[in-house]
Each structure stands twice: as structure tokens, then as C-alpha cells.
Amino acid sequence: MFSSNPFSELSASIPPIIMQAYVVVMVLLVVSGTLFDIVHKRSARYFFDNWRNAKNRARRQVGSVKMVSVAIQTAAVDVIASGEFCNMRRRIAHLLTMYGFVIYVVTTVIMVFGYPAPATPTPASLVVLWIIGALLVCGGGYWFWFFIRVDVAAEGNSPYRFVRADLFVVALVLSTTLALLWALVQATGLSAAANVFLALYLIATTVLFGSIPWSKFSHMFFKPAAAFEKRVSEANGTRSNLPAPADAPATFGSVPRYSGHY
């Protein structure tokens, strides 16, 4: 398992072009689902209207050098380090899941398109990275699901309670868990069991990428833009009306923010 590309082994029964087409369809689902979510919830309109209003109310101009500095700060603090989470446990769980997902997706694409058949040997390091990425997602996702969620940790609800806001993290964790189980069973030569786990893996992955309009998947694209707008508003002297960081102490007169889910 730690040196064999599971997608390459699968090419013995499923043509690589089918696997590659499936990946392309998942990418299209992400793009179309995100655009639909933005239009349906009017997130883009709200963002640009708020940006325009903040620019008109600006007390001082933000030059190009300052704007680049703000962009770098946003990328370093809000994106790379997930600085919006003041609770360290939530931040660590989020970082594990985020970087694990990035590693997992990138290595999956490389293995499916770059090493689609046994005739082209897959570097063992690539397979190991794929496994590490999936394990990081599982570690961060299960930690968050069972121990960190506000409605479980603070409100005493069952850790198995499921609402629509949980769709993203549940589908993500199930997808990576089933991917690991499928690869493990396939490596043992149990073809019947491997086919079962493969089918479950494909179902979970399709739900993950196909449910974007109803899950929180698209937030990963909008949140950096919102964080950038907030920092620009602070730099030009206007007060942003965007939410305070998750888990930040509430101040008098502020609007409470529920932070029970990603």
C-alpha cells in the first residue's frame, strides 16, 4: 500500500481515461457549484457593494505598496495560518484538515493523470504523500467532529448529531477514510471487498464535490476575499461590518456569531 499507486492498479479493470474523466467532472462540479452558491446567496454582490461603500467612506487612501502589504498579510495570516481561529484547538484541526486536503487532492490528480497505468511506475514518495494527506484530513476532521464542535463540546448534544452545515466535513472525512480503506484492501488482493470500498469511496467523493451549493465547501474561496476586504477597510479608516474572528471574545454591542461548524 505504501509504494503502490491504487489508481494505477485500478487501471487493470477501469481504463485510465474513465478515471481522468471523473476527476474532470469533479472539478467542473466545484466550479459550477461555487458559482451557483455565490449567485444564489449573492455573496459576490454583497462583497463588491461593501467594498465600494468602504472605498467611498475611506478616511485615507491606501496606496499600491500598502495594498500589496495587506494582500501578503492576508495570505500569511488568514489563509496560510488560519488566523481567524482564536481557539488554538480549532485552528490546529482546521490546518490539519486544510493542508491534508490540499496534499491529498494534488497527489490524487498527479497519480491519476501522470501515472495512470503500471507501465509508468509511480514514485513511492508520491504514494506516501497521498496517504499522509488523507491521514491529516482524517485526524483533523475526526478531532473536530467528536471533540471540538460547539454544539457537542459546549451544548452537550450527541457527537453523532448531523445537520446540513456538517455535510462538508462529513463527506470530506468519509471520502478520505474510504480512499485509505479501498487502497489497503486492494493491496491485499481482495477484489470483491476492494470493489465495495471503491463504490463507497466514489459515492462519498461525488457527494463532497457535488453538494457545494448546500455545504460549506465554497467558503474556502470566499473567506480569503472577505478577510482581505476587512484588512483594507481597517487600513483606509473605515469600519468593516464583517464578522469578528471565530471564537473571539464578544464585545459589548457586537453581534453574536455561531461557530459550531467549519
Domain chopping of the chain, boundaries: 6-235
Q: What is the rounded distance in angstroms from the CA atom of residue 49 to the CA atom of residue 53? A: 6
Q: What is the rounded distance in angstroms from the CA atom of residue 213 to the CA atom of residue 218? A: 8
pTM summary value: 0.73
Q: What is the rounded distance in angstroms from the CA atom of residue 42 to the CA atom of residue 35? A: 10
Whole-number pLDDT of residue 4: 85
The backbone region for 253, taken as left when phi is positive above 0, alpha when psi lies in -120 to 50, beta otherwise, is left
**One-letter amino acid for residue 129 of the chain:** L
pLDDT per residue of the chain (262 residues) written in tens, 0 to 9: 567 899 998 988 899 999 999 999 999 998 888 888 777 666 666 666 666 666 666 677 767 777 777 777 766 666 666 656 667 788 888 889 999 999 999 999 999 999 988 888 889 999 999 999 999 999 999 988 887 776 555 556 666 666 777 788 899 999 999 999 999 999 888 888 999 999 999 999 999 999 887 766 666 666 666 677 777 777 777 755 555 555 544 443 443 433 444 4
Whole-number pLDDT of residue 220: 66
